[in-house]
Structure 1
Amino acid sequence: MELKLEMGGVFLIDEKKLWNENEAILKSLQDDILVTNTDGIILRVTEATEGIYNLKENEMVGRSVYELEKEGVFTPILTPMVIKEKKKITIVQTTNDGKKLLVTGIPVYDSENQLVRIVSYSHDITELLNMQKYLTDMEDEMERVKSELEMLRNLHFYTEGMIASGDEMKKVLQLSLQVAEIDVNVLLLGESGVGKSHIAKFIHNKGPRRDGPFIEVNCGAIPESLFEAEFFGYESGSFTGASNKGKVGLAELAEGGTLFLDEIGELSLANQVKILKFIQEKQFYRVGGTKVRTVDFRILAATNKDLEKAIEEKTFRQDLFFRLNVVPITIPPLRRRATDIIPLVEYFLKYFSEKYSRERALDEGIIHLLLTNEWKGNVRELINLIERLVVTSSKQLIEIENLPERYRKTYHEVSTIEDGNRSLDEILDSVEKQVLLKARKRHKTTTKMAKALGISQPSVFRKLRKYGIE
């Protein structure tokens, strides 16, 4: 019982009916509220606080927040921050079970304006932060996919298969199939236009990363000053002229797939260092960024340069060469693939006829010329010529007059072969004999002839006997 003097009299009050308004308000709150004094001793907590920190009220009240931090109940502690700043402060706090809390501390002053209490309240934002991270990752992924699709729109590949009739090209494809299943670095070597990009795509399509992206980086086409930003990407406002949204780099687009570094020999020494570090660690920073980004990819590289000579001339790093040159594959020029020319012509004639809805056929004289041409531009030159003939010819039969001038100039060398009374096999035999005669004149041994023609030495020997060539 309690005595209370009111209006000159003493009244007995039942303790059960005593009512503390502040206490009632505090208990009605569903939020986590914790009150400490300036020494960090906990004075009051709400019921919600028990669930947040997995401690009962009697396990917290009377204890120091400094002590609880040492025990790992929560970190960091807010009390000293509010005491120091003497103002409202909000931080993110981590509990012993990994929850993330958004905690706000408010200073409480007495009538003499002295700091006496710190009241803090918190909200569990673990799911919110997880969602934020998920959304950030999704934004990065969507940006990567968008950039990849945009890039693929600008690329064109022939994926129906590789054409290889000659022994040398068959060996190239056999080796390509062998390495396709293993994530080993491959260096593709050969003249410009022999099909290094095509072989790289072939290796990608035959390997375990076939469902991932195939990202081709033409190292010779990107200006040196822009290479880092294009390859690694950049953050918003990282340099003058940068997009305000930032940009995903080519390296990041290769996640889960193949990164094909074409014309690797054209890279500057400064950019070679960056590429080497990236290949070794598979980690990088965007230009202007502070977040480490990790990419899972396979490296294929290609060049038409003699990299060993470039190393001697100190224009290419030896350590990068050894990193890339795990399995070298040399693709022969088209002039050493005489047996592949007719199948290639047939394939691309059909392809471009369907593409442009223009049914076209080649005159025999053109076939003769194609078989004896030097093809300095290799397969790329052949493809471009066939496409040009399909597009520019006005008649179904493409004739010598439809050829560009520089091809017509050499036509007289093969025009004597043309004979409308002979079958195609007879004409091809005549062309084959002419090719063998030229090869015999240039190369004194059948071994050298075989290498130049892309066939075996026994095949050369049999063909020489067939046509009576000494």
Structure 2
Amino acid sequence: MTAKILQQFDGQLLLKIINTLKDPIWIIDNQGNVLWVNQAAYDFFSALQVDELVGQNVIEMEKRGLFTPSIARLVIEQKQFVSTTQVTQNNVHLLVSSDYIPDEKGDIQYIVTHARQLSQVINQSSELEKIESILQLYKQQIRQLILQQKNQQYEDFYVGKSKVSLHLIEWSQKVADIDTTILLTGETGVGKTAFAYSIHQLSSRNNKPFIHLDCGAIPESLIESELFGYKKGAFTGANANGKLGLIAAADQGTLFLDEIGEFPLHLQSKLLQFLQNKTYRMIGDNQVQQADVRIIAATNVNIMERVKEGTFRKDLYYRLNILPMEIPPLRERKEDIIPLLNFYLKKFNQKYGRQHTLSKNIMDALYNYSWDGNIRELENLMERLVITSAGPKIDIDDLPSDFPLHQSQQMLFQNVEEVSLPIYLEQIEKNILIKAYNDTNSTWKTAKKLGVSQSYIIRRLKKFNLKIREKELVEE
């Protein structure tokens, strides 16, 4: 039946049918040359003062800045279906999809491209998500755009441009709608809270509560009532009307259990029961309550060590550790430092009505600083510099007197007259070696960073009596 119906349609009639669509449609050859576009494409690109599209080459149009990226170019390069966001010269965001029609050998013969303004997709997202045929990529990109447009306190997570940060963002997009427990690990200040919030915002729970409980900041005696709540008259001093816990408050949303390693041992079985069955009992209540809550936990300690010590249940650890992710410290993703410095400089300039800039000297110095306090330390320092610096350009002299980098700069010169020049220079070289090795954890990488041979580095380590202890270079 289908074949008989199609026989009634010639090529011109099919093109007329496509021409009635309100979304731009392009037909392109395997070299990127435009063979045909529908009327909607003409209408849209008239705003860019492109009078004739047929005969144009989309790769050349991309080079001219009319739009980026060229999705046809991506199909030619990847030889597969591609769907992504595209930005035009007049800053219109499009959601574009493209696939190819193969020839007899399976090579690309024609490319068909479809576009739609992303703002229209966002407005229709609630309806689109009900349709099973809408690609998961559409939902992720819509939520990503919404998240970036929101004015919220966790936007610094998306400042990172290093491979590590981009991998973390990609991972968060993959796991956002996988409704199971996530365990985030990493040092204090690396951005675990921001990462947890981004996962919540990318998930289908993004319009429901995101509740943050710091397990290390609440007295052990109060955690049970804070988390599970209590009934009226449950204990002396309780609220006369009872209290709903954070689990109830997070129903349909996400509960972020920060510093989970500090969670009291005697309550861990109760938390495990909730993770397994989504059920719990309020204090003083025999009735079982139920809540649909996604749990994200985080810790800066080694939970397995706590398990060995007997202060953390092994079964709870395995239940939390279904989707683990370690967020590396800032010193291991140095490509993020400069973007973060600029981000917080702009943020605090706007907050305090300043117009400060950073000198190259302080940018270089802060780039090479170890940042033991990670992003939190960087943020606090930038706020302090913006508030206290007198001149328009912030330089090394503006660093607080108690900041380690400032102290090390002063120490280089304060006792130079008390020792001979060779001893003084050796001390400087030793400090440089320790810093370079602790940044790279490799004698080969240290040599490459300092522009010398690996054998030279090894000889200097022996001369200065420096030893490697637990991946750090220390002085014996």
- For Structure 1 versus Structure 2, the TM-score category normalised by the shorter chain is 0.5 to 0.7
The Cα shift of 1:163 comes to: 2.6
State the SS of the aligned residue for 1:187: strand
User: TM-score normalized by structure 1?
Assistant: 0.56
Aligned twin of 1:198: 194
The Cα shift of 1:302 comes to: 0.5
Return 169-178 or 319-328, whichever deviates more: 169-178
Cα deviations by residue, 1:290-327 (Å, 9 ceiling, x for unpaired): 44321111111100111112111111111001101011
1:370 and 2:366 correspond: yes
Aligned twin of 1:157: 153
How far apart are the structure 2 equivalents of 1:313 and 1:440?
Answer: 30
How far apart are the structure 1 equivalents of 2:411 and 2:368?
Answer: 9
State the SS of the aligned residue for 2:402: helix
Alignment of 1:399-410 (within 5 A): 399-407=395-403, 408-410=406-408
Is contact 2:189-2:376 (8 Å) kept? yes
CA distance 1:210–1:440, shift in 2 (3 Å): closer
Is contact 1:278-1:284 (8 Å) kept? yes
Q: How many residues align?
A: 283
How far apart are the structure 2 equivalents of 1:323 and 1:194?
Answer: 24
CA distance 1:441–1:252, shift in 2 (3 Å): closer
State the SS of the aligned residue for 1:406: coil
Bigger Rg, structure 1 or 2: 1
Is contact 1:188-1:301 (8 Å) kept? yes
Aligned twin of 1:390: 386
2:265 alignment partner, one of 259, 262, 269: 269
Aligned twin of 1:444: 442
Alignment of 1:52-451 (within 5 A): 157-159=153-155, 162-407=158-403, 408-411=406-409, 438-439=436-437, 443-444=441-442
How far apart are the structure 1 equivalents of 2:202 and 2:452?
Answer: 42
The Cα shift of 1:184 comes to: 2.0
**Looking at both structures, which has the greater relative contact order when contacts are Cα pairs under 8 Å and sequence separation is at least 6?**
1
How far apart are the structure 2 equivalents of 1:435 and 1:193?
Answer: 27
Is contact 1:369-1:411 (8 Å) kept? no
State the SS of the aligned residue for 2:213: strand
How far apart are the structure 1 equivalents of 2:300 and 2:439?
Answer: 28
The Cα shift of 1:182 comes to: 1.0
Long gaps (5+) in structure 2: 1-151, 414-431, 454-476
The Cα shift of 1:213 comes to: 0.8
Identity score, percent: 43
CA distance 1:171–1:271, shift in 2 (3 Å): same
The Cα shift of 1:469 comes to: 4.4
Aligned twin of 2:72: none
CA distance 1:181–1:442, shift in 2 (3 Å): closer
RMSD over aligned CA atoms reads: 2.8
Long gaps (5+) in structure 1: 1-155, 416-433, 450-460
Is contact 2:279-2:289 (8 Å) kept? yes
The Cα shift of 1:353 comes to: 1.5
Cα deviations by residue, 1:40-65 (Å, 9 ceiling, x for unpaired): xxxxxxxxxxxxxxxxxxxxxxxxxx
How far apart are the structure 1 equivalents of 2:362 and 2:344?
Answer: 15
State the SS of the aligned residue for 1:200: helix
State the SS of the aligned residue for 1:255: coil
Which amino acid in the other structure matches residue 337 of structure 2? I
Is contact 1:437-1:469 (8 Å) kept? no
CA distance 1:161–1:264, shift in 2 (3 Å): closer
User: TM-score normalized by structure 2?
Assistant: 0.55
Aligned twin of 2:92: none
